[in-house]
Amino acid sequence: MDSAPTIAIVGRPNVGKSTLFNRLIGKKLAITAKEAGTTRDRIFHHIDVNGYDCILVDTGGLEYGKQENIEEDIQTQAALAINEANVILFVIDTIQDLTANDFAAAEILRKSKKQVIIVANKCDHPNIENNIYNIYELGFDEPVQISAIHKTGIDTLQHAIEKKLKEQKIKKSTKPKKQEDQIDLCIIGKPNAGKSSLINALTNSEKVIVSHIPGTTRDITDTELIFKDQKFNLIDTAGLRRPGKIEKGIEKFSALRVLLGIDRSEVVVLLIDGEKGLSQQDCHVASMAVEKEKGIILAINKIDLLEKGEEERDRIIWKLRKKMAFIPWAPVVFISAKNKRNTNQILQLAKEITKEREKRIPTPQLNSYLQKVTQKHLPASVKSRKPKFFYASQVDIRPPRFVLFFRNPKDLHFTYPRYLENQIRKEYGFNGTAISIKFKNKNDIKG
């Protein structure tokens, strides 16, 4: 199964990697890999490179002073980028002279036979001519000259990345190819939440036929299941730690693999440790799945919760809904992965959610309903110009996507889109899945 190509940025500290990262993603996100509390969003981010949906990764600064064996430290850092990336951006500071560490890293990257682009940063500095020519000593092709801070040369860099992706015969596609009769199910959660036990429970069930398939990404494994005549592809990823616990190296790429797993899935199962309760990390992971418009199942794990009675479970659900108010539509299931209780309910829910994601509402029916809804509660406005609803259409499934045409849609009060989503869900369901609602100006209506 295909996944988004990965672009890794490598280089010594202070060569401009963070600035380049921010420039390519179009946001100001400080990348401070050594600080406690660094979030995963500061490690990788989705970007569009001339039609290619890619994941941009920061590998952290290549710092070697803390270890006696410089070569070992270079290999620890650079090998991770080499193993994961389709394209490597090797950033050089043209103001500074090349160092032994630059040459050591270049040797490893060159021997890898991966697609490497030398990025000569800070080329707007007046005294860089000699250093530009010195970069050729690293043994790569023509360096791409940029100034990340002033946005110079970014278009040229994007075209260079596009060329490297084409050489690998990677096609432009925002959606991975998948078998239409197969449900891709990704299980994510913090370490020790019981993820491994859940996977074992699902694959060892007497009602399940299991065949193991090699994973497409290192440390991501796929397992094919057939449950009640439905084929599932179970995507197993590494456990996530708290943001402050995500350290450089393997932990960063563990978080990257979770994002890749979410990307490839139809439905995401967020496994929550029932004894420790919901954490901020769980909420953050759920928001990642919402951002990717996936189906979501909240699975509360631990046998004790199943035996404490309905009142205790209701209390837990109330707390869960309060902290995860942004996904009131996600079903909650209590399980015991260790004792294989209620685990198959996850597969049944995934099947039902996938059916909801495939639901399509006829255009006349949708418009008739939304006319009533918008008349019942007229669109509020943040300005004097009053928005008015004209027309709506469902344009896609998996996930369900809607386009609503308004007069002055930009002036809608921020609460109105949520009102419309709630009304659509009230009438048509879409339980367990994110839906997308876009607002356009009535002048964009064709015909």
Q: For residue 236, what pLDDT is reported?
A: 76
Higher pLDDT, 202 or 1: 202
Q: Which domains does the chain have, with CATH numbers?
A: 6-167 (3.40.50.300), 182-357 (3.40.50.300), 363-444 (3.30.300.20)
Helix axes 416-428, 363-376, angle to 10 degrees: 130
Q: Per-residue pLDDT averaged across 116-123, rounded?
A: 92
What confidence tens digit (pLDDT) does each residue in 286-330 have? Answer: 998 999 999 999 999 986 766 777 888 888 899 999 999 999 999
The candidate with the shortest Cα–Cα distance to 270, out of 232, 296, 295, 302, is: 296
Q: For residue 42, what pLDDT is reported?
A: 34
Q: Which of 22-31, 287-296, 327-336 has the lowest mean pLDDT?
A: 22-31
What confidence tens digit (pLDDT) does each residue in 249-269 have? Answer: 444 555 667 787 888 899 999
What confidence tens digit (pLDDT) does each residue in 356-393 have? Answer: 999 999 999 999 999 999 999 988 776 777 899 999 99
What confidence tens digit (pLDDT) does each residue in 352-361 have? Answer: 999 999 999 9
Share of the chain above pLDDT 70, in %: 76
